[in-house]
Structure 1
Amino acid sequence: MCGIFCLLSLSPAQFERDKKIYEHLKRRGPDSSQDLTVRGTHSCYHCLFSAHVLHMRGILTTQPVQDSAGNVLLWNGEIFGGVPVKPEENDTAVIAQRLSSCNSPSEVVSVLSTIRGPWGFVYYQRAADCLWFGRDFFGRRSLLWKFDESINALTLTSVAAYSSGLDQSAWREVPAAGVYRIDLKAATEAGSVMFEVFPWAHGGNHPDSGCSDTILESVPSCCSAVMNEAGLVLTSPVCPLNTSIPESINEEEIHSDSCIKDLEQLLASKEKQHEVNGLIDVLSEAIRRRVQALPFRIQDDPPPTYDHARVAVLFSGGIDSMILAVLADHHIPAHEPIDLLNVAFKLQEPKKQKESAKKPKKHNNKPTHDKPGAESQTSGPFDVPDRITGRAGLKELQDLNPERRWNFVEVNVTQEELQEMRQERVCHLVYPLDTVLDDSIGCAVWFASRGKGFISEDEDDQKPFTSSAKVILTGIGADEQLAGYSRHRVRFKTSGHEGLIQELAMELGRISSRNLGRDDRVIGDHGKEARFPYLDEDVVSFLNSLPVWEKADLTLPRGVGEKLLLRLTARQLGLGQSAVLPKRAMQFGSRIAKMEDKREKASDKCTRLLTG
């Protein structure tokens, strides 16, 4: 993973890079930092390329990568399929070599279409005097853009910095609707930038009608965008969404009360077994690719020991993170620990508890199978719902593999630290997103992925602990594909299967702009890499191929019907109570929402983010 930055200036005027942006980029890539300036041969444009590398694979390859022909690559990505990469090879070098052999736009588009995995890139083709850039199909890596009219310059960067000045709304996320090409000679002559768009083919989840609108809404001021004249498109990496609607179900009657079908009973069906095993196969392989062949440390770390984990899971004890942990356990060497990062924001203590809270609380970290509602019986200031289900989940994992060292990292956050780090770091990382929900999720993920907290050696002893893992698995994508949110039930109730299918298609189509860019910026700030197994192209294709009623049955109660296929998978993998936990959003499970203004709506602009 990398922090990448490109400033394209269309005039000979000198420019200065924002020092705060440089600091953010360097934190993303602590292993190598380098700048490179390129000037046009026949035009007066010049480009500053800056790259900051987090070494994850093969031999450390410094960036920007420049070949003998003068082409320059900034690559922020991981190749998990499509393009062969040997264990000893670095994927940046492999992609640079592939792109160097391209002599036409169609060849560049062909190379990018074959890659499976997350990526954001900037590529300068010297002979053609053009600049390519873009994000992968799902937008799993952040890329922002801004045009500064005062210096006639376009900036592309992995992360920006919030400013309370006049340009506070200038930065926008580059839409993950395709890749973009700038004719640098034409841009210099015109004194303005036009983006030639090469869209993703709409065989996947991006709605046809919205693609052009999405791009045009996000184009920086003083710039324009047009579809490429040759009609070239990138091949969708996933199969189309199955839009079948069941004929045998009378949608007028499915909302009556129904008894809870036992997951074990459903698993007895051969058809269900086939689907569950299919999901286990593709998801297990997706996780294998993301947890194996990892370096132990960055150059300045102490020598590696078996006490240090290389993989962590954002962990609530809910079904999404439990399945990630179970399958990661299948592929990570037995002697290595796995870190389970569990974040909690300090509860405001009721007055009657203040006296008893002064006394040290024993057995606070004992794993327990607390049921929903049990949080009301706890007295610890960090005993939030996700901490309780997290401990219960830890016990299930220990029962499944008692030989594994599971580091359950209790990340405890006070209101004072939240306010301090929001203003110092998180407001810049969440930006240009600015809602209450972005603030809550951004802060929770930032603290969790930092991995600084406590672990318990036994029931009474806690010790400070900071996770060493550079790869962080996150469960995002499961709810969007398997109808895990409460709004899916609402849509199903009002519009049946047809409405639910439309909702799921929209969810995956907008996941880049609502979640992934933000989460990549937030997690990357710690010099760690977010990996999203539920958004692996093969996993998405498998789930897209199934009819919606096989993935979720919203005629069943909460904790069973939503994400039904994943719940059956959990049972097949040997999980117990966690397989039937209802969905609980991170902002509520971690209790960060309780710390803030309770009258706010998730979609409101968050004033706390706008005072940095």
Structure 2
Amino acid sequence: MCGIFCALSLASAHSQWNQRVYEHLKRRGPNLSQDLAITGSDLSYCCLFSAHVLHMRGLLTAQPLQDTAGNILLWNGEIFSGLPVTPEENDTTVLAQRLSSCNAPSEILTVLSAIRGPWGFVYYQKAGDYLWFGRDFFGRRSLLWTFDAEAGELTLTSVAAHTSGPKQCVWQEVPAAGVFRVNLKTAAEAGCVAFEVYPWAHAESDVSNDTIPQVLESIPRGCSAVMNQSGLELSSPVPPMNVSLPETLNDTEIHSNSCLSVEDLEKLLGSEEKTDEVNHLIDVLSEAVRRRVQSLPFRALNLSPPAIDCARVAILFSGGIDSMILAALADRHVPAHEPVDLLNVAFKLQEPKKQNESSRKPKNKPIDLKADRGNSQVLSPFDVPDRITGRAGLRELQELNPERKWNFVEINVTQEELQEKRLVHVCHLVHPLDTVLDDSIGCAVWFAARGVGFIAEGNHQRPFTSSAKVILTGIGADEQLAGYSRHRVRFKTSGHEGLIQELAMELGRISSRNLGRDDRVIGDHGKEARFPYLDEDVVSYLNSLPVWQKADLSLPRGVGEKLLLRMTARRLGLGQSAVLPKRAMQFGSRIAKMENSREKASDKCTRLHIV
């Protein structure tokens, strides 16, 4: 993973670097930083490229990567399949070699269409004076843009900074609608930037009607965008969603009085058809996890020789079904002698009345947990719902594989630390998103990914910091398998047809609502977010199934939503976690209770605008 930056200037010189942006980029890529400036042959434009590398595979490769022909690549991505990359190779080098052999736009699109994995890129094609850039189909890597009309400068960057004052930059996320090309000479002559759009496309969809409006919503002021005149498209890595309806529609009444259990899931697994679906999902999801947890050399992560507690893989872990399945599948593919870090974040509840100043433990000293675990009447102020289900999930994993060392990292956050880190870091990383939900999720994920907390040893805790550079997250499961409460509402009012429309919308907007933000927040720690539920093969399989085979929202919470995933959990040997109802991170971690509890998730968050 990398922090990438490109400033295209249509004037003779670049405006001054924003030092805060530069520092944010360096935090994303702590292993190597390098800048490179080039000027057009007729001196009509100049480009400044900057890259900051987090070394994850193969030989440490400097970026910006310039080939012998003068082409320059900035690559923030992972090629998990689609293009051949051996464990010893660096995918930046492999991709640069493939792109350097391309002449026509169709050839570049063919290379990009073949990649399976998350990416954001900027590519300077010297022949023809073109600048290409874009994000993968799901938008799993962040890329932002802004245009300063007065200075004649277009800026692309993985992460920006929240600024105030008369000359503040207006940042927006580059839409994951396709890739873009700028004719640099034409832009220099016109004094403004026009983007040619090469959209992602399904074979049967009319992409021009869908893509251009999406692009125009977020295009920088002073720029323009047009569909490429050749009608070229990127091939979608996944098929369209199956929109078929059952011959006999299920009753949309939700049987809330029903009380289904783990044993009921076992009965549902009894049918041969369900068994085939579950086995297929396990196969594709297990392979998705394998791609994301293997080929992580210790030398790349500065863990040679590894200490006993040093993990290379961590999971954002609540004990809920999404993270439990990721942990169970990671257990298959992470070497048996290596630990796996389970990152569990909690925001401090109101102090119990029994606790007074004399009973508080000094910071970073061993904490006695007898009151926490041995006496249910005296709870820790960090015993939030996700902490309780996380411990229960840990016990299930220990039963599943008692030989594995599971580092259950208890990450405890006070209001004082939350306010401090939001001001210094999170408000910039979440930007340009700015809702109450973005604040809650952004802060919770930032603290969880930092991995600084405690692990239990008997009745005591000791300070612990996760060494893992790869962080698996369960995002994508709810969006595809009807995990949110709004899916139940839509099903109750509009049946399967309405539910299908809701799920299609969820996956279509996941890049702008979640993924860019989460990539920026997790990457701030020099760690890489990986999303197994959004692996192209996983999404392709789930898209092939009719909605009623993935979820049955006539069944009660804890069973009907993500029904196929719950049956998968049972097949993997998991227990009570398979029937836990969905609980959003902001509520499970209790960050939503720490601030103004009357706020709506969609409200603009004033806390993010304090600079």
Fold match (TM-score > 0.5): yes
Residues 253-308 of structure 1 show CA distances to partners (whole Å, capped at 9, x for unaligned) of: 67696563710100111110000000000000000000001022557666433431
Aligned to 2:511: 512
How far apart are the structure 2 equivalents of 1:494 and 1:357? 53
How far apart are the structure 2 equivalents of 1:135 and 1:581? 34
Work out whether 1:279 is the aligned partner of 2:281: yes
How far apart are the structure 2 equivalents of 1:413 and 1:404? 28
Q: Is the 8 A contact 1:207 1:509 kept in 2?
A: no
Alignment of 1:516-527 (within 5 A): 516-527=515-526
**Structure 1 163/256 Cα, relative in aligned 2: closer, same or farther at 3 Å?**
closer
Q: Is the 8 A contact 1:182 1:194 kept in 2?
A: yes
Aligned to 1:53: 53
How far apart are the structure 1 equivalents of 2:457 and 2:257? 46
Work out whether 1:362 is the aligned partner of 2:369: yes
How far apart are the structure 2 equivalents of 1:256 and 1:534? 28
Q: Secondary structure at the match of 1:447?
A: helix
Aligned to 1:589: 588
How far apart are the structure 2 equivalents of 1:337 and 1:254? 42
Say which of 327, 330, 339 aligns to 2:329.
Answer: 327
How far apart are the structure 1 equivalents of 2:303 and 2:166? 42
Aligned to 1:579: 578
Aligned to 1:193: 193
Aligned to 1:9: 9
How far apart are the structure 2 equivalents of 1:569 and 1:299? 33
Aligned to 2:340: 338
**Structure 1 22/301 Cα, relative in aligned 2: closer, same or farther at 3 Å?**
farther
Residues 373-396 of structure 1 show CA distances to partners (whole Å, capped at 9, x for unaligned) of: x9xx66211000000000000000
Alignment of 1:398-477 (within 5 A): 398-458=398-458, 460-477=459-476
How far apart are the structure 2 equivalents of 1:208 and 1:230? 12
How far apart are the structure 2 equivalents of 1:207 and 1:600? 38
Aligned to 1:371: none
Aligned length: 604
Residues 534-588 of structure 1 show CA distances to partners (whole Å, capped at 9, x for unaligned) of: 0000000000000100100000000000000000000000000100000000000
Work out whether 1:128 is the aligned partner of 2:135: no
Q: Secondary structure at the match of 1:200?
A: strand
Residues 101-125 of structure 1 show CA distances to partners (whole Å, capped at 9, x for unaligned) of: 0001111111100000000000000
Q: Is the 8 A contact 1:196 1:228 kept in 2?
A: yes
Work out whether 1:530 is the aligned partner of 2:532: no
Alignment of 1:378-393 (within 5 A): 379-393=379-393
Q: Is the 8 A contact 1:206 1:509 kept in 2?
A: no
Give the superposition deviation at 1:165: 2.1
**Structure 1 252/71 Cα, relative in aligned 2: closer, same or farther at 3 Å?**
closer
Worse-superposed segment, 520-529 or 143-152: 143-152
Give the superposition deviation at 1:347: 0.4
Q: Is the 8 A contact 1:367 1:395 kept in 2?
A: no
How far apart are the structure 2 equivalents of 1:13 and 1:353? 61
Aligned to 1:28: 28
Identity of aligned residues (%): 75
**Structure 1 206/485 Cα, relative in aligned 2: closer, same or farther at 3 Å?**
farther
Say which of 289, 295, 309 aligns to 1:307.
Answer: 309
How far apart are the structure 2 equivalents of 1:516 and 1:430? 11
Work out whether 1:238 is the aligned partner of 2:238: yes
**Structure 1 252/38 Cα, relative in aligned 2: closer, same or farther at 3 Å?**
closer
Q: Is the 8 A contact 2:200 2:207 kept in 1?
A: no
Residues 566-612 of structure 1 show CA distances to partners (whole Å, capped at 9, x for unaligned) of: 00000000000100000000000000001000110000000000012
Aligned to 1:170: 170
How far apart are the structure 1 equivalents of 2:358 and 2:478? 39
Give the superposition deviation at 1:362: 3.2
C-alpha RMSD of the superposition:
2.1
How far apart are the structure 1 equivalents of 2:281 and 2:301? 38
Worse-superposed segment, 305-314 or 569-578: 305-314
Give the superposition deviation at 1:150: 2.2
Give the superposition deviation at 1:475: 0.1
Give the superposition deviation at 1:43: 4.2
When the two structures are superposed, what TM-score results if normalisation uses the length of structure 1?
A: 0.95
Q: Is the 8 A contact 1:204 1:240 kept in 2?
A: no
Alignment of 1:476-495 (within 5 A): 476-495=475-494
Q: Is the 8 A contact 1:361 1:380 kept in 2?
A: no
Q: Is the 8 A contact 1:297 1:304 kept in 2?
A: no
**Structure 1 272/131 Cα, relative in aligned 2: closer, same or farther at 3 Å?**
same
Give the superposition deviation at 1:206: 11
Q: Secondary structure at the match of 1:429?
A: helix
How far apart are the structure 2 equivalents of 1:367 and 1:96? 58
How far apart are the structure 2 equivalents of 1:44 and 1:208? 32
State the AA in 2 paired with 1:277.
Answer: N
How far apart are the structure 1 equivalents of 2:534 and 2:204? 13
State the AA in 2 paired with 1:46.
Answer: C
Alignment of 1:33-44 (within 5 A): 33-44=33-44
How far apart are the structure 1 equivalents of 2:442 and 2:582? 19
**Structure 1 487/163 Cα, relative in aligned 2: closer, same or farther at 3 Å?**
same
Q: Secondary structure at the match of 1:424?
A: helix
**Structure 1 470/188 Cα, relative in aligned 2: closer, same or farther at 3 Å?**
same
Q: Is the 8 A contact 1:169 1:432 kept in 2?
A: no
State the AA in 1 paired with 2:177.
Answer: A
Q: Is the 8 A contact 2:74 2:121 kept in 1?
A: yes
How far apart are the structure 2 equivalents of 1:220 and 1:407? 45
State the AA in 2 paired with 1:362.
Answer: L
Give unmatched runs, 5+ long, in structure 1.
369-373
Give the superposition deviation at 1:233: 0.5
Aligned to 1:556: 555
Residues 476-503 of structure 1 show CA distances to partners (whole Å, capped at 9, x for unaligned) of: 0000000000000000000000000000
Aligned to 1:147: 147
How far apart are the structure 2 equivalents of 1:388 and 1:378? 14
Worse-superposed segment, 108-117 or 207-216: 207-216
Give unmatched runs, 5+ long, in structure 2.
362-366
Q: Secondary structure at the match of 2:26?
A: helix
